[in-house]
Amino acid sequence: MVKKALLLVMSVSLAGCLLTIDSAGRLQSTTWDEADVKRLQIGQSDTDWVQVTFGEPSTKLVYADGKEVWKYRNRAKKNTEVGLFLVFSVDVEKERIETLSIEFADAKVTGYWIDEATF
């Protein structure tokens, strides 16, 4: 009976150590945040205000009809290490890119959206 109890205690103790997960995330670059995006006003905000608030866009697209789309990117990486006690360890790295696109017509904001991609 004592042997079974000891075996059970050891099994439960080791089960907690068998699988380890360590995760850490970090921002690589940030050019905008949610608070600034919430301040965008369609028809009111203009190119000068956006330039001062968000800085120089990573990309500017100009269309034949005069509309422009400015793009700003945020990049973050997340590293996760998963291991099986003394057997193997795997590092998984994911990169997330959020792109804020702001559309202008006649120097006024006509729309904006956020796209997310994970690699």
pTM of the prediction? 0.69
The torsion angles phi and psi of 10, rounded to 5 degrees, stand at -65, -40
pLDDT at 94: 85
Sign of CA dihedral 73, 91, 22, 16: positive
pLDDT at 8: 55
For residue 9, pLDDT over 70 is answered with: no
Structural domains in the chain, CATH included, are 23-118 (3.30.1450)
- 99: part of which helix (H) or strand (E)? strand 88-105
Q: Comparing 2-6, 37-41, 43-47, 114-118, which segment has the lowest mean pLDDT?
A: 2-6
Q: How far apart are CA 43 and CA 108, in angstroms?
A: 6
β-strand 19-29 against 88-105: which pairing, if any? unpaired
Average pLDDT over residues 24-36: 78
